Amino acid sequence: MRLLRGVAIGAAAWLSACALGPAPRGGPSLLDDYRRAGSSFALAEIPNDLSGISYSPESGTHFLVENGAGNLYEYSSDLRSQLRKFRLVGGPSRDFEAVAVLGNSKLALAHEQNRVVIVTIPAADADTELSVDPNDPEVQELVLPTRAKRNRGLEGLCYDAAGNAGGGTFYAVQESSPRRIYRFDRPADGANASVADGSLRVQEPFDAEEVFSGIAEDLSGCAYDPRSGRLLVLSHLSSVLVDVSTEGEVVRVLRLPGVLRRGAVQYEGITLGPGGKLFLVSESALFQRASRALIYEYTGAGERSNRGRDAERVEEGPIQ
């Protein structure tokens, strides 16, 4: 009961901190109500390989993960200042591709080898190490189905805190070969779990290869939107953000700006932040010396009447 109550409180805090309001689930795409807030900007402390972002309403900060180097960063709510850096230690490798804040000082990191580790965010104010070793009693590991090809594993992870009757539900995206969306509930006992021994049940709620055909060449990140109950799925190869239901209905496709349109080159992560803002992060381009971020502001339902006036906003239907 303590766990369920904590998750419920965390979900309520997320909605309050983001000022999202009690919007009905389903319905028109909220992407219609977003406008780009200026140009992309550099995250100078992360030179390359930025691969995921997640906002914590508890701390009012963002957590970003850098793959390969094995670093986790904490940034201010506006994403302009680095606050802390965590060196990820232990485990078979440090190739973490995504991060999802769970609440109650817990977050999950998705590894490209199709496993997820749940860790506790240290209370220390200074830079420190953070264990991701599955043999550490403070770390929980969830092992998903084996990837079909090397370097084609998990790329995105998001979390529905109210799912599974308040116990929490994960959605994970596999990049390609094939594209996949996985859904699995967060184990309540805190023990390690795996598909291989039946202790973790993983579902594919829809055929991602079919749903994203002609829209997204790959899948690079995701965010769960509690306002609509749908997923926001990124593709870095196609530079699009897709609003898709958990049953596989594509509601809207947002074309993302490239470098020549003051955007970014390789979008890898997305999160919903304060005020309902969308924060997107990208790896650096050949002529950019740092990873980058781009923000979309939520303008409210009244902006729907202006749809079509901003060519950089929303494109409907599949992309040819």
Q: What is the pLDDT of residue 25?
A: 56
Residue 313 lies inside a defined structural domain of this protein:
no
pLDDT digits over 190-238, tens only?
899 999 999 999 999 999 999 999 999 999 999 999 999 999 999 999 9
Residue 150 lies in a domain: yes
Q: Which residue type occupies 24? A: P
Residue 316 within a domain: no
State how far the Cα of 290 lies from the Cα of 42, in Å rounded to an integer.
Answer: 6
Q: Rounded to whole angstroms, how far apart are CA atoms 25 and 27?
A: 6
92 in any annotated domain: yes
Distance, CA of 182 to CA of 152 (rounded, Å): 14
Does residue 312 fall inside a structural domain? no
Q: Is residue 107 part of a domain?
A: yes
From CA 26, how far away is CA 233, in angstroms rounded?
Answer: 16
CATH number at 229 reads 2.120.10
Query: Which amino acid type is present at position 253?
Result: V
* Residue at 218 is within a domain: yes
pLDDT of residue 91: 80
Decide: 227 and 243 in contact? Cβ < 8 Å. no
What pLDDT shows up at residue 287?
61
What pLDDT score was predicted for residue 285?
Answer: 64
Whole domain around residue 200: which residue ranges? Answer: 2-306
Number of structural domains in the chain: 1
Is this model's pTM higher than 0.75 or not?
Answer: yes
Residue 158 resides in a domain = yes
pLDDT value at position 300?
83
Which residues of the chain carry a pLDDT beneath 50? 1-24, 302-320
At 206, the amino acid letter reads F
Q: pLDDT tens for residues 45-71?
A: 897 789 999 999 999 999 999 988 889
